[in-house]
């Protein structure tokens, strides 16, 4: 099922009501795009962000519309029957073959950002060019990955979306090039699993808050008021394991985690693996490269936004081979990639001990 089917629900409602009654009709209306439905969802998040966390109205408005993108993607995913590797026959500007599902989710995100009216430009992993979003006087630029983990959706694993938000000055050139993750005013990771949730970094409030989509997708409700990552946590999610074949330091670290009886929590998707750290409030995620297993994670669309959430929650981040926070790495080009480590402060320091000093 494509996104367009989600948007036709309002058109078929009268016929459904007549034929089957209100129960089924409201089930089919679980994702609604009427003005009233959008307003209810948007305001349910926006109100809390402004009242409880002191978020600026414009930023709160944008975050709520990222919530709209999340709600629509959840609808697309839950009704997407063909979970085969169905490609659209095109490649994005990075040379990656595009799945139909990736494109549908990318379109949902751009629709929401344009509807918000505050975004001047955005770039995504599927549309890796700085794209006009219609907000001529908009004060924000957004970098996002619309569907992180599409390769594991066939197994019905949890997957997600990632968004980074950068401020723009009116009258100045709008671009993401030359920016750092530290300049983000907020970032969001959306999680599609048994629940649909968003985890939002609010640096101005030194807070990370989680919302859950509730009431048959009609509203957002705070499910975690404040997420704090503890310094220690013997849970590990080792990405790009094949790199340990020719990266001796990484192999030694993996053996240390195993010998010290760390608990493995790994799905092959960055969002669920890092989100597990937010839920347990401890642990470590790594994605290390080697000569034969190159870095895959993109700074703009994945690393910087996720890094902001980790550090706002009290964790640490680092580049795989440089002693620098991922938030302090300058974006030189949109497809910039790197290896990383995120998580509990002491666990990231241990990563540095193995990767940098031995």
CA distance 227 to 199: 9
Please compute Rg for the chain using Cα positions. Answer: 20
Q: What is the pLDDT of residue 88?
A: 56
Phi-psi label, residue 163: left if phi above 0, alpha if psi -120 to 50, beta otherwise = beta
For residue 281, which of 226, 215, 337 has the smallest C-alpha distance?
Answer: 226
Taking the C-alpha atoms of residue 158 and residue 143, their distance in angstroms, rounded to an integer, is 22
Q: What is the pLDDT of residue 12?
A: 41
Taking the whole predicted model, whether its pTM rises above 0.85 is answered as yes
CA distances to 189, 211, 260, 288, 301 from 342, in Å = 15, 22, 19, 11, 16
Per-residue pLDDT of the chain (358 residues; tens, 9 = 90+): 444 445 444 344 444 334 434 433 343 444 556 788 899 999 999 999 999 999 999 999 999 999 999 999 999 998 887 756 555 556 665 556 678 899 999 999 999 999 999 999 999 999 999 999 998 778 999 999 999 988 888 888 999 999 999 999 877 889 999 999 999 999 999 999 999 999 999 999 999 999 999 999 999 999 999 999 999 999 999 999 999 999 999 999 999 999 999 999 999 999 999 999 999 999 999 999 999 999 999 999 999 999 999 999 999 999 999 999 999 999 999 999 999 999 999 999 999 999 996 5
185 and 170 Cβ atoms separated by less than 8 Å: no
What is the structure's pLDDT at 98? Answer: 74
Cα 332 from Cα 73, distance rounded (Å): 30
Task: Map tokens 């036709």 to a residue.
Answer: 8
DSSP string covering 8-38, please? Answer: THHHHHHHHHHHH-HHHHHHHTTS--SHHHH
Tokens of 47: 């109100």
* CA 183-189-193 angle, 5° bins: 175
Asked whether the beta carbons of 212 and 220 are under 8 A apart, the reply is yes
Rounded to whole angstroms, how far apart are CA atoms 153 and 90?
Answer: 20
Looking at residue 40, what is its pLDDT? 94
The pLDDT assigned to 108 comes to 97
């Amino acid at each position: 099922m494509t996104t367009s089917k989600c948007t036709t629900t309002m058109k078929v409602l009268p016929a459904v009501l007549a034929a089957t009654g209100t129960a089924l009709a409201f089930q089919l209306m679980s994702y609604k795009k009427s003005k009233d439905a959008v307003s209810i969802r948007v305001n349910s998040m926006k109100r809390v962000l402004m009242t409880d966390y002191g978020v600026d109205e414009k930023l709160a408005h944008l975050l709520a519309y990222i919530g709209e993108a999340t709600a629509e993607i959840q609808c697309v995913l839950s009704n997407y029957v063909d979970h085969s590797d169905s490609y659209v026959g095109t490649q994005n500007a990075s040379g990656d073959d595009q799945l139909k599902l990736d494109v549908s989710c990318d379109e949902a995100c751009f629709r929401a950002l344009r509807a918000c009216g505050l975004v001047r430009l955005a770039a995504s992993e599927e549309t890796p060019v700085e794209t006009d979003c219609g907000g001529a006087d908009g004060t924000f630029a957004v970098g996002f990955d619309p569907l992180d983990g599409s390769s594991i959706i066939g197994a019905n694993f949890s997957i997600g979306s990632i968004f980074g938000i950068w401020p723009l000055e009116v009258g100045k050139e709008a671009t993401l090039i030359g920016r750092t993750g530290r300049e983000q005013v907020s970032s969001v990771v959306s999680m599609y699993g048994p629940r649909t949730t968003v985890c939002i970094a609010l640096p101005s409030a030194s807070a990370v808050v989680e919302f859950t989509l509730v009431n048959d997708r009609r509203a957002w409700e705070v499910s975690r008021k404040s997420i704090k990552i503890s310094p220690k946590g013997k849970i590990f999610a080792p990405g790009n394991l094949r790199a340990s074949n020719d990266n001796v330091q990484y192999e030694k670290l993996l053996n240390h985690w195993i010998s010290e009886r760390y608990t493995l929590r790994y799905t092959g998707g960055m969002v669920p693996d890092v989100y597990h750290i937010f839920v347990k409030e401890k642990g470590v995620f790594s994605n290390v490269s080697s000569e034969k297993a190159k870095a895959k994670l993109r700074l703009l669309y994945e690393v910087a936004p996720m890094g902001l959430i980790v550090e706002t929650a009290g964790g640490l981040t680092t580049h795989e081979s440089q002693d620098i926070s991922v938030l302090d790495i300058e974006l030189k080009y949109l497809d910039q990639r790197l290896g990383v480590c995120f998580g509990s402060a002491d666990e990231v320091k241990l990563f540095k001990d193995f990767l940098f000093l031995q």
